[in-house]
Structure formats: structure tokens, C-alpha cells
Structure 1
């Protein structure tokens, strides 16, 4: 059974990696593989067959290999079948409509950060109502403030007017994959709420909807209780209105709506974000408290044990509390893992059966993925089950040997317990590091130290106080508030210590670039460490140290990456030993493309220093992310067409040139003519953009190749460039002004003669970029067009092949793919 479970999980983990997996495993094939797996497992339960396999090891090995392969085929086929169904449900075109929706859960965020998941309701009995929408509040542009969101309660029906759009986000290396998160949450579209009105009981009755199931009613009641707790915690008095209260609420119900961005970053820097997820310890503690109280009550009436033994009374209550608390915590993946693992354990205790801990964990993971294979897309799945697997694999030392008759002094027991706890934290930090780096590409080296204090404080002090206060709140709110105030005070003191640590060690959270070979080597080292001693020699680790520490990277003469920064521009240029960034994308409100896209892209490639940062001009969509980049990445030289205060700026001028690793860089514009122009259009910021030509010299049978980056330069600059003696021919042209009609004239395109032209623009941008007239000009001259809208980040390698073929980031995952020529 272990091999079947491992094969199924491995098969599901291939979800979305490539379209061919969804084609080579048709429905009939993976259903046949399931039938074969079940048949083999039934046969293996026969005593004679099992004895025959034991006596012939090669047959046993072959049988397990067949089970593993068939389970893998079933897992991969089933996962891609579910993925295709989810992708078909996604909205394909923007639409504005009025609909009846049911409120799902509680809002994720409050005030300006409010967003609410809803489910469209259909009166048709056979319609699929599994798809959900994520609605954001509207913004009042006249008053320049967010409109107060409606007071939606879980389970309510509302009539709403919404502007819906398909799931779309910045598809770039290192950036958070919003589309994957929406898919994993079964959200088919996002939208802006224009109008909302709750339905009256009469209107609900007229819809004649199917009554909610009992489980749905219980879930809605639990969600309403979560909302009540949030509203009460918000009213608690505190010296810090958001930090401590947000964490207090998160520790109790997993609701992070009150945790601000600064606190989230602080917990990430300290490596303790995992403590805010409701999982095993919190759920088990709550269940144990209730079972202990029940046991004390039953012990007063010993006659009840004549009807049934103690476990028959306590196990159902224990399981009921586990399920209810998991539901109160939102029933996210760590809570689901806890429910399934504890549920299996309770059933085995009830039946007086014994299974290995590994089997219980694998069954829990398989059941979770069978119910929702998209759950494997969540980092919470891997970290939750990964941590459990590491804990189960450890031979944790016991305080006192089972066969020892020596009673250790209390002080010595405490010392031993502390030493074991310290060893456990370091082991978890080291063994979980590959998973953390795979999921987040960064890790806090302070994590094992801070966890030594944070885990005892939050798990053994704050959490019990939280649970006690919540229990008392059902009876006496004033008494509960006293305990909550004590917990808040302890959290504020704790946060004060964390702030001191963050100021002392500002670089505690370090990004790490790991290539595929490095990750593979790290996971192989992890497996060797987790395997029982003696199964494989530990000295094999020596052979894995070199590939784990040495990044294997293919270095091209020039790599050009047009980052997907939406409506803006950011181009990363890399030679063998140098890196240059042209523009940094926009900053809209508190959202900076520097933080969101540019810095993650640099960190994902191990770039910690830029030899040059060129801001073609200081429009927000080109320079908005620059402050973030300059604060977090070392920059040798900042250059722009005008001074970027307060940073020292080297002004770019036509004629400037330099070489890196044999690659030539030359500034073609602005020229003195730009600064002498009196015409408003000719003297604008756009026309004064720094225009950069980069040339890779001819190599073997490959001629010299060039890339021309225009910034926002328009028709006037194009005219001036054509008057110069400098050749304009380039193999790759980054179109000026995002494909505006005021740039990319036919004459200029004919002079450049590019193989490919790149448009960097935002999805559904209000300017309509790229303009149809520009696309027509490109088509007329048979110039291939690539767009970050459809392709995400575009990568071109110059100097290795005659014809440029872009690497489209959106081609890497099925849920990111868009149709392109």
C-alpha cells in the first residue's frame, strides 16, 4: 500500500507542469491503472501470494514497481483531469453583470483591504456551482478613497453588480503566482463590486433553491462564529491597534485579516510565520482540554464505564472537537491534514488496530489530494506534510529510558528536555530548508533561535490563554476580555523583542537562488538523512555537497529579459559577469513593481548587485519601482535622462558607450537637439528617453546581433535617429511607449528591420496598448510580435543562434498559458 500511496502523490505532483501529461494519460488509461492497482493490492492480501513474493524478492520488487507506476499514472491523469475542469470554469473575457451570489466564508481583509469570496447562485438544478468569484471593493475617485464595503455575512444571498475579469497576474520568475493561488482556491474570476444589496427572506423563498445540507449549515455557523470573534477582537483595547490583535486573532482562528504588512514581514524575517497557521498543536490542545474535562466529569460517575470503556466515551468527543475547531479555523490545508491524520488514528484506536505512522500520514495526504488534487499547488501542503514527515522520521530521544528504574532529578529532567528541544529545532530548520527554499526562495537564519522562544511562548502560554478566553466569552465577555488583555500585553512585549532583533539583524531574511541541480542534490541529502541508519551509507553525502553548493548556470554572451511588470517597462540585460537593469516598472498606490516583480526576478537568479541601473526617463511606469530596487539591491551606477533625486544620477547622453565581456553598449539618445527643441511634443519626457543599443559581436557562423531599447521615445526621436550615421538595424526591438500610435513608424521599423518586436504593456490597460495601427505596421513588414500580456516575462539569448526564439514564462505552467502566434 505504501508504494501505491507514494505513486499516487508523485503523480498528482506533476499537475500543470506540461500539457503533454494531460494528453498522454486519457481518462480510460488512468481509470484502468486504478483498477490494476486495486486488483494487485487485493491479491497481495492473499497469504499464499504474499508468501510467494517474500520467498522470491525479485518478484516482490517487480510487483511493487508495477504498483508504483500504475498509481503514478492514475495520480497524474486524475490531477490533470481535475485541472482541465478547473481551467474550463475560468472566465475567458471581461464582463459586467448582475448576479445572485452566496457569501462564502468571511472577508479576507477589512477596510481598504476588504475582499470577499462569493459563489454565483443558479436556479437551474443541473448547473455547476463550484466556481467562485473574488470580489474587491470599489474606489471613489472623486473623494480619492475606498468605498465602505457591504456587511456581508457567511451564507447570505446578495444581489450584486460586478465588473468581472479573468484571472491574470504578473508572470515572472520569483514573483508570487496569483493565478496559481486563485486556481487552488477554485476562484474562476476576480471583480470589482459596483452595487450590492442583500436579498429579503421573501426574495430568497421565490428563488426556490435547494436547501443547504447539514454540513453546509454547520460550516456557515462556524464561519459566523469566526466573524463574531474577529469583530470582538477588533474592539479590544490595545496600545497597538493592529499588530498584537491581528496575531492574537490569527492564533485562535487562523484569521489573518487584522495582521498588517509590517507584522507579516516581521514574522517572515524572524522565520516564525508558520506559527500563525492553525494545525496539529492548536487543534490537539483544544481537543485534549475538552476530553480532560469530560474525563473528570465521567470519573464522578464510574457506573458509566460498565456500559462502555473509557476510550469509547472520550474518542468521539475528541474527534468532534478536532473537526469543529478545524472548521472554526477555516479548514485550510494544515487543519485538513490534522483532521485526516487524527481521524485515522482515532479509528485505529477504536478498532484496536495498529498502522505505522508513515502509512497514516500517506493515507491522509492521499485522501486530501483525492478530494482536491489542486491542494498540491499550495506551499502549505508541502510544508505541512513535510514537517510531519521529518518529525516522524526522527528518532527523538526519550527523557527516561523505558526499561530504566532510575528516577532522574527534576532539574536534570528539565535540562534534558531543553537540550532535546534545541536539537529538535535545529534538525527541523536544516531538514526543512530545502522545502522552504523551493517554496519561497528565501530563508531566515534567525529562525531556529527565535523559535526557541516563540514556540514555548505562543504555544504553551498565549494559545492556552486564547482558548480559555474564547471559552469564557461564551459565558462572560468581561472575564474573557481580562484574559485577552493579558495575552495582548504578552504579545506586545514579544513583538517589542522581535523589533529589536529585526533592527539588530536587518538582513536576517536572505534570498537564495537554487538551480534545479542544487535542489535535487539538497533533496537527495535530505532523503539520506531521513532514512534509517545503516540502510544507505551516510558518507554518500560527500558526493552531494559539490552539486548542492555549486550553481551550474549556462552563460550566454547576452541574455535579455523583458520582465512582466504590467503597464510599464523593465528589461534585465546579463552578460557573462555583469548585469544591467533598464527601468523598474510602475508604482501604483502602495504596490511597487520593484518589490512585486523586479527584485524577486533578480533574487531568483542570484543577482545581488547591478552594475548599472538605467531609468530611460522618470515617468512613473518606468521609474516607480526604482526606490525599492535602490534600497534592496546594490547599484554601482544610476543613470537617467534627468536627475532622480535624492540619488546621485549620471545623465545619459547620445554617444556614451562601454563594453562588458565583449558586448558593446551604446546610448543613441537623447541628443542635444532634444534639449533645444521648443515644440511641446518634441521636448517632452518621453522624447528625452534614454535609447540603448546593445551589440553582441559575430561568433563563428552567427553574425553580430543587436537589441534596441526605446523607452518611451516617439516619432520625433525616431526621426532624429534616422538622420544619424549610426546604424539602427537590430534583431530585437523593444517597442517605444508600449506600442503607442505615437511611436514605431513604418519608416523607423524599416530602418531597424528587427526579427522580433516586444510589447511591454498591462493586461486590459486603459490606454489600449499596443495600438492596432502599430500591430498593422509590424504585420506589414512581417515582424514577429511578442507581448508580456500573453507571454509573461520574455527571455531572449543573443549570440548562440541565428534566429531569436523567445522563452515565454507563461509556457511553463498550464494555468499560465495564453494563446499566442
Structure 2
């Protein structure tokens, strides 16, 4: 019964923010009634004798728990969404600083608590230039700067920065221009007396003191004569400020990023070291205390204290919190002399964690942490079942090494679905690299790191020596990783499975990892059949206007043929790459790294800059552009009259520019954009599409002369809706059913122009902008019906 309730609660909270959950939203009294009914079921469950009633009871308990979890999560989500910022504006706010800064390339980034913005204090990220310095911990400041809301690229496959902000409880970004320290007395005069009193409590002061120690140890490690300062600091406190970006990327390619996070083993190792020292002192000076209090009961209290202190020291990250909850619950079971069921303990800790912080479910760390723990529990049970008491030392070592190897491939396989769900990519070398790295880091590097951290508070010269020894151990690890890199050069491989294939894979893994005899393991083969059936789709045509910020990229699929029109591009693709962060993840989800057609309407950075960053990771059968690219094969000019083949029931042609205009140098790049016209056979209501690139009034005038009766249902406005495109007469003549605008949020050009929007409104032409609604999709089903959807309507935190 408990398992049904626990899984229902976890799954219900996991549905947080989904659009479909609105139909299950219930009032508070109804939720209370459901909880009472669930409680009564739990009480009377043991009195039920028939299997049928037990099944009905468990099923109803699961459903009730799921609905309660869903409503609980959405209630908290709505409250948090009300606190987030939505507009760009200049602000002056009062802040309190309780978190250390994170070093960036040209600035300090720091969490700040803003007092005078909402009905209660909220957290923002602040960014301060290096020459201005960062905020001092435990102080109040009056800060001025530009406030920006969290706004990411609402495109399938790209990192959901808005979800991350909600999960981290960050409500906005502040680019600081000026700041000055103010006294607590001044803050009280502004009406925040209660807040100041709260920060003066021993608990709040203790947390600030811990943050100050984290800052001091970062500064101490910075001046040490060691090579791997960033890795040393990250493994000790979770602070990644000094971490080299190339090393981070290498760990990602090897599937070892989880080793950079403070996880359960870090916490337990620290607690075990301290408890071992305490036990040594007791055994040496006061062993008779065990006559009054058994050893296991006596050591529970320092053990838990160490776990709590270290979790606070690393900022209560999710893996550390999971360890804390498991340790507290396990200790309570021991003190109450109750039997411990590992799976029940794990599920109970997950339920409690989600009760206190339901937003943890949005983090990949939550699922990966608990998933790995579940697999390790199964392996631990296997080890425990073996009779090793009489085995020799050699046989025991052989057995445990075998268990270590077994654990790596089992964890890799078991977490495979989660890696697909959260990252859409895997690294095949993960089991091999982790086989060496996990014991090396867990048994040598982390203990040395912790010894160095402890000795820092008592005898700094000893700490320096230990950190230097630890640096040598890190060098050996990194040399091994580099050797593997030189031999195999592993890369992250994109992978995507549809919902049915993914569900089948998860079910197959559940069957495989069940104890023997419950379900025949051969059934798992049936579960993975959907993977080999291919990604079947009911849509025969798909048009996607991607949200790439201030730029343009359009994906078109007709049956099994795929085309990309422009790739977008950031101002500096080396600093932040639209190609690597948006285009490639999207194409991976669509299984479209191989493109039949790529059209670059023109070579401006915001339309084609990303292509030159990712061209070696794409296979393009035919490339069209308004200029011939010297290093590209299969490159043709997109001249007027050229037909583009993308399969049956679709006609694509280039309307402009003229070939003679393209041969004149120099020419206006915007007005020489490739203007593409697409017609679908037997489609309604969106049959005819016109893509204008960056073309303006001059090109529009030519189109009216050459094609006076052009039928357009969907118009992608030229030049992102600037005032020098989409002329009134042009719009009036073609009268599209809908106008689409590809523009970036709060872009410096002011696109789309207010004048363009007024023309659309005056002509009663509906419009959508990617800046407002994210990625825009139009799909045609087998009956010819075309439907339009926008991505920001699919998640509650994406809606503006």
C-alpha cells in the first residue's frame, strides 16, 4: 500500500507545470477530503482479506495520491510564478546578501535577496563587474541597475533556463550599475524590522558564517601552488567558480559531470571520518561509556551532526539533501529499533523531500540521484546475499571488484532513459571512465580533499601539504582521462525516442532489475519492440519556426524529407552558440542531423552565423544560398525560378532574387535575400507559405509586380518585422491568414516595430512572435487538416 501511495505522490508532483494538469485542479476542501479518504484507506487496508478489494484499494490510493501530489505541486508553482519578474526595467532595490558570489569571466554572479520588490523577499541573480567588487556577506545594500526576467529559447531540445530559474527559486536578473552599503537600522526604517530580526537569529547567522567559510577556503585554495584549483574546490564545497570550462566539457563527454557535484558519498565520507576520530578517542580514553550507551547509538548523534553540517556547507544541494533525509530516517529506525527496508527508506525520503521542496522534481539531479541509489540498493542486496564470511581476502577483493564493475554498467543502463529525457544525448564511454574515476575520487581524492578542508581550520600548513598531495592524485586521474581521450576521442551522441519507445524501454529495465522469479525477464524483449519500429508520426507535413532569439531558422519536414531554412546565429558564436545550444539539440530530437536541403537566405550573422559553427556536425545533401560558399560542395545559388525538391504533394520555389542581381557586387544583402514560396497540396487552412528572409520594401514591390495574385496563408515577415519591411500595400495585397515574426526578446533593434504591428492590426491580420510565444509549429495530418501550436503554451512557467 505504501508503495502505491509513494509512487502516486511522486508521479503527481512530477506532472508539475504541464498544461493538461489544469483539468485536475481541485479546491482546498476537496483536497482535504481526498487526504482524509486516503488516510482511512491506509488504516483499513490490513483488514481487507480479498485480493480484489486489495487491488481496488491500492489502485484508488495510487490515484488519490497522484491527484493530491499534482494539486500540491501546482499550488506551489502558481505561488512562485506570481513572484517572478516579467518586464525589463531600471530599478533601485534594497537587498540582503547571504550567498557567496560565483566567479565568471568578466563579472561576479551572486544570489541576492530583494526586500522591497514583492509582497515578500525574493531571490535574484545579480551580475557585478569585476572592477566593482562583489557584495559582502551578511550586509544590506541599496542597489541600482537593469532588471531582466528569465527568458530562454523556447525550442524543443534546448536548455529550459526558465524551468531552471523556477527550480532554483530565482525570480529575475539584475545587471548592477551602482550599489552602496546601508545599515540594518536604515533597513528597519524602511519597514523591514521583522526581516532584520529574522536575519539576526542564531540559525541565520550560522548559515552566513558557513558561507563566509566557503569564501575563505576558496580564497585559500586560489593562492595554493597547485594546478587543479577548480577541481579541488568543486569536489570540496561544490563551488565551481574556479573550474576550467574545457575540463567541464571533457567531463561531460566522458559522462562524469555527476562527479563534480557534491553527492551522498562526499557527505558520508566526511561524517565517517569525524565519527572514526570520535570513536578512536573514546576507545582510547573512555571505553567504559559503551557500557551505558551502545556504540551504534552513541555514534548516531555525531554522525547526523556531521551530515547536517556538511550539507549546509555545500548549500543543501539535492544529492546531499537526499543523503541527509536517508540518514535521518535510517537513524530514527535504528533508535526506535525498527527494521529498515532500503527501498521503503529511499521512497520515503523522496516523498518527504518533495513535500518540503516540490520543485526538486524539476531537477535532473533528483531523478539521477534517486535512480542511481535504487540500482546501488539492488547491487547491495546481491552482495549481501552472497556467503562471503568464510571466503579468503583474495576472493572477497575479487567479489567486490566484480560488484564495482557490475554496478557501473547497471547504473549506465538503468539511467539510460533518464539521460534521454533530460539531455537527449549519451556517452558510450561512461561505464569505462566511471569504473576508474568513481573509486579513485571516492576513496582517495575526496577523503584527501576533506582532510585538507578540516585541517584548514586548525593548521593551514598541513592543509597546504594535503591539497598538494591531492593535486598529485587529481593529476593522475586527469592523465588517465586524457589518455582515454587521445585513444577514443569520445563524443556525446544525440539520441531521441518517442513516448512509446521510451515507456517500453523503462518497462523493460524495470523487469530486468526486478528480483528473480517475479516476472519472466524474457518479457523485457517485448517491451523494447517499439524502439525498432521507428519514430512513426501521424503528421505528413511539419513547419517549425524556431525560437532562436534575434534571428531566424525554419525547419520543414515533408514525409521523410527534411529542410532547414536559415540557422540563426548569436552575435558571437564562440561565446554562446545558437548552433550548438539550440539548432543541433532541436535537430537531434527530430532525428534530422542529416538534412536533404539547407537554404541560407543570406549570410548575415543572425540568419546563417550558426551554420559556420556547426557545419562539421551536419550532413547536408544540397545547400542553397545567395552567395557561393567556397568551402562547400553541392552549393547552388537560390535564383528566381529555381525549384526545390522536397518530396511529393509539396511545391517549393525561389521567387527572388534574379540571377543577374546576384552577380553584381556589392549588393544589398537584405534585399538579395532568398524569398521562398511553399505550396502544400490538399491542405487547409494553411496551404501557402511565404518566407521573406530580411527582404524589405524594395523586394516587396518587385513581388507585387511579378506575382500580383500570389496566394499566401502564412507569411513569415521580412527582417523580423522591422518598420522598413511589411509595407501596408504589400500586406493588403497578399492578405495572409496569419503573420509570423521571428524576433528576440527585448532585442536592441526594437523588432518587431510598432509601426509594423499597427499595419497588421489595421488590416486585421493576426500575428505571432517567437519573442512572445516561442517556437511556432504548423502540422498537417493525413486528412489534410493543418493545426498551429506554440511551445510556450505547453508549460506553465513558459507562459508570459
TM-score normalized by structure 2?
0.94
Is the contact made by 1:705 and 1:798 (CA closer than 8 Å) also made in structure 2?
Answer: no
Distance change in 2, residues 1:429/1:799 (3 Å): closer
Is contact 2:15-2:21 (8 Å) kept? no
Q: Structure 1 residue 259 and structure 2 residue 249: aligned?
A: no
- Residue 794 of structure 2: which of 812, 816, 819 is its match? 812
Alignment pair present for 1:83 and 2:90: no
Pair 1:375-2:386 in alignment: no
Aligned with residue 736 of structure 2, among 754, 762, 781: 754
* Structure 1 residue 438 corresponds to structure 2 residue 421: yes
Q: Name the counterpart of 2:757.
A: 775
1:235 — aligned with what? 223
**Contact 1:558–1:798 under 8 Å retained in 2:** yes
Residue by residue, what CA displacement relative to the aligned partner does 1:261-287 show, whole Å, maximum 9, x if unpaired? 322211111011111121211111111
Distance 1:189 1:650, change over 3 A: same
Shift of 1:784: 2.0
* Counterpart mapping for 1:687-726 below 5 A: 687-698=671-682, 705-725=687-707
Question: Residue 354 of structure 1 corresponds to which residue in structure 2?
Answer: 339
Q: Do the aligned partners of 2:509 and 2:524 also contact (CA within 8 Å) in 1?
A: no
Aligned to 1:600: 585
User: Is 2:404 aligned against 1:421?
Assistant: yes
1:671 corresponds to 2:658 = yes
The answer as to whether partners of 1:618 and 1:644 remain within 8 angstroms in 2 is no
What pairs up with 1:73-152 in 2 under 5 angstroms?
A: 73-112=67-106, 114-122=108-116, 127-129=119-121, 131-137=122-128, 148-152=131-135
Decide whether the 8 Å contact of 2:85 with 2:148 is kept in 1: yes
Per-residue deviation, 1:346: 1.0
Q: 1:392 and 1:716, CA in 2 relative to 1: closer, same or farther beyond 3 A? A: same
The correspondence of residues 192-231 of structure 1 with structure 2, limited to 5 A, is 192-200=175-183, 203=186, 208=193, 209-212=196-199, 213-231=201-219
1:161 aligned to 122, 138, 144, which one?
144
Distance 2:367 2:375 in 1: 12
Establish whether residue 560 from structure 1 lines up as the match of residue 543 from structure 2.
yes
Match of 1:275 in 2: 259
Partner of 1:744: 726
| CA distance in structure 2 between the partners assigned to 1:798 and 1:747 by the alignment | 30
Partner SS, residue 155 of structure 2:
coil
Does the CA contact (< 8 Å) of 2:92 and 2:143 recur in 1? yes
Structure 2 CA distance for partners of 1:497 and 1:692, relative to 1, 3 Å: farther
The separation in 2 between residues aligned to 1:768 and 1:801, in whole angstroms, is 40
Whether contact under 8 Å (1:15, 1:76) holds in the other structure is yes
Worse overlay, 777-786 or 734-743: 777-786
Q: Match of 1:304? A: 289
2:383 counterpart (391, 398, 405): 398
CA contact (8 A) 1:687 1:716 kept: yes
Q: Could you tell me how far apart the structure 2 residues matched to 1:338 and 1:419 are?
A: 25
Mean CA deviation greater in 470-479 or 426-435: 470-479
**How far is 1:762 from its partner?**
0.8
Cα pair 1:557 1:799 within 8 Å, conserved: yes
Deviation for aligned residue 1:524: 0.8
For residue 602 of structure 1, report the CA deviation from its aligned partner: 0.5
**Distance verdict in 2 for CA 1:70–1:605, change over 3 Å:** same
Gaps in structure 2 of 5+ consecutive residues: none
Change (3 A) 1:314 1:113: same
How far did 1:503 drift?
4.2
Structure 1 counterpart SS, 2:287: coil
The 1:132–1:233 alpha-carbon spacing in structure 2 relative to 1, beyond 3 Å, is same
Bigger shift: residues 782-791 or 284-293: 782-791
Whether 1:464 and 2:415 are equivalent positions in the alignment is no
User: SS in structure 2 opposite 1:528?
Assistant: helix
**CA–CA distance in 1 between the matches of 2:461 and 2:632?**
54
**What's the secondary structure of 1:168's corresponding residue?**
coil
Cα distance, 1:803 vs. partner?
6.6
Q: Partners in 2 of 1:416 and 1:261 — Cα distance?
A: 38
Residues 1:375 and 1:406: Cα distance change in structure 2 (over 3 Å): closer
CA RMSD of aligned residues (A): 2.4
Q: CA deviation at 1:248?
A: 1.5
- The alpha carbon displacement at 1:712 in A equals 0.2
Label 1:734 to 1:205 Cα distance change in 2 as closer, same or farther (>3 A): closer
* Equivalent position of 1:39 in the other structure: 40
Are the structure 2 counterparts of residues 405 and 119 from structure 1 closer, same or farther at C-alpha, using a change threshold of 3 Å? closer
Which whole-Å deviations, capped at 9, do the CAs of 1:412-441 have from their partners, x for residues lacking one? 332222222111111111111111111111
2:669 is matched with which residue?
685
The answer (yes or no) to whether the contact 1:570–1:585 under 8 Å persists in 2 is yes
Question: Are the equivalent residues in 2 in contact too, given 1:311–1:350 (CA < 8 A)?
Answer: no
Alpha-carbon displacement from aligned partner over 1:37-86 (angstroms, at most 9, x marks no partner): 23333445xxxxx2x32x32222222222322222221111111111101
Q: Secondary structure at the match of 1:343?
A: helix
Shift in Å at residue 205 of structure 1?
Answer: 6.7
Distance in 1 (alpha carbons) for counterparts of 2:378 and 2:663: 74
Displacement of 1:203 in angstroms is: 4.0
Distance 2:752 2:181 in 1: 41
Distance of 1:116 and 1:9 partners within structure 2: 32
Aligned partners of 1:383 and 1:435 also within 8 Å: yes
Match of 1:60 among 54, 79, 88: 54
Task: Determine whether 1:321 maps to 2:313.
Answer: no
Q: Please, which moves more after superposition, 608-617 or 730-739?
A: 608-617
2-side partners of 1:250 and 1:559: how far apart?
A: 44
* Residue from 571, 586, 598 that aligns with 1:588: 571
1:141 aligned residue: none
- Per-residue CA deviation, residues 383-440 of structure 1 (Å, 9 max, x unaligned), is 11111122223464438944x66342x3333222222211111111111111111111
SS of the equivalent of 1:315 reads helix
Q: Structure 1, unaligned stretches of length 5 or more?
A: 45-49, 138-145
Q: How many residues align?
A: 789
Shift, 1:499, TM fit: 3.1
Q: TM-score, normalised by structure 1?
A: 0.91
Match status 1:785 vs 2:777: no
**Secondary structure, counterpart of 1:193 in structure 2:** strand
Q: Does 1:571 align with 2:554?
A: yes
Tell me: CA distance 1:452–1:354, structure 2 relative to 1, closer, same or farther (3 Å).
Answer: same
* Residue number in structure 2 paired with 1:344: 329
1:519 aligns with 2:506: no
* Of 640, 644, 655, the match for 2:641: 655
- 8 Å Cα contact 2:21-2:70 kept in structure 1: no
Secondary structure of the equivalent of 1:636?
A: strand
Return the alpha-carbon distance in structure 1 between the equivalents of residues 653 and 428 of structure 2: 42
Q: Secondary structure at the match of 1:191?
A: strand
Q: 1:433 to 1:807 in 2, by over 3 A?
A: same
**Hey, what's the Cα distance between the residues in 1 that align with 2:132 and 2:622?**
46
Task: Answer whether contact 1:730 1:753 (CA < 8 A) is retained.
Answer: yes
Q: Secondary structure at the match of 1:398?
A: helix
- CA distance, structure 2, for counterparts of residue 508 and residue 419 of structure 1: 27
